[in-house]
A = this chain, B = another copy of it.
């Protein structure tokens, strides 16, 4: 059986998802598209040879009888309403991050889904599908280094555009760590502290860079993450989990070891888009397979909500310079 998908949002990530759903993955096809820019979306579908019907509104696409499941790749502020419409229509939806631009909005989705009574929503936290993180989680779950005690992490970007300012190193960058660490550790956060130290001369005016973010979990695990988005040298994701008997680390992405120019070693990616590109395929294939089985197997609405709550606590902690509690209700049995 082939899953008929409606795609909302035909920008960069939307086009990539359309191509992989249609030509790379197994068991799905794109039958409907919607975008604010009709002409561009139709031109894209023509050129890509994806015979999908264009709908003038997200809502119309969601309602269309031939659409069995929805992929939301529109801009962030539209997500909440579109996901709520999918829930109302009882259709499975894969929503790119963020699930909503506020924790309150994410909360509304959680409540609507629970009221609807069936899991429908997956959020696009693709790192959970990265081969490296999965191998690390498998090693941790197998007890290879004993119980986790500490995590040392880094999220480094060579540079960011001028429009990247303020809290974006939390909402756009650290948000990935927020989701992936609690999944990796099977744990929840209880407090956060944000430290702004010496600023690099390569950061632009509206951004304090680097920062260090300290998370504490219910089990007492301490996680320190360096967020450094003007590091110049590469897109570099580090994660080292210190357990009771050893340290397990996130594997480096595959590169060709070189001995040249008085140096030996491997390359570091400069383009962040390449780092997790394969995980999108794994993520959406798993979503298709689970959807066909009537399940949500990936990060769900609750995960999206927790990420929003945590990000808001990080922002507050940065302002207050205090150790800031992260108050989360218990995970409802619905999301167990």
Interface residues of A (CB under 8 A from B): 23-27, 131-132, 135-136, 138-139, 144-145, 147-150, 152, 195, 197-202, 210, 212, 214, 216, 219-222, 224, 226, 228, 231-234, 236, 242, 244-252, 254-270, 285
Contacts and interface: CB of A to CB of B under 8 A. Distances in A.
Given A26-B26, A216-B197, A145 B254 contact: no
Given A145-B260, A264-B265, A266-B265, A226 B26 contact: no
Contact of A263 (B24, B228, B250, B268): B268
B197 A221 contact: yes
A318 to B, nearest CB: 14
Nearest to A139: B256
Most B CB within 10 A of own CB, among A199, A258, A259: A259
Contacts of A246: 231-233, 258-261
A244 to B, nearest CB: 5
Nearest to A28: B26
Contacts of A138: 256
A245 B131 CA distance: 28
Contact of A220 (B197, B233, B251): B197
B262 A270 contact: yes
Contacts of A257: 248-249, 251
Given A228-B242, A233-B259, A247-B259, A135 B254 contact: yes
A251 B249 contact: no
Given A222-B195, A254-B254, A245 B262 contact: no
A110 to B, nearest CB: 29
A181 to B, nearest CB: 14
Contact of A150 (B27, B197, B259): B197
29 contacts: A24-B26, A24-B285, A26-B26, A136-B256, A145-B258, A147-B201, A148-B198, A149-B199, A149-B200, A152-B224, A152-B226, A197-B216, A197-B220, A197-B222, A198-B219, A198-B221, A212-B222, A233-B261, A234-B259, A234-B264, A246-B260, A247-B258, A247-B259, A250-B256, A251-B254, A259-B268, A263-B263, A263-B266, A263-B268
Contacts of A236: 259
A158 to B, nearest CB: 8
A287 to B, nearest CB: 15
A260 B245 contact: yes
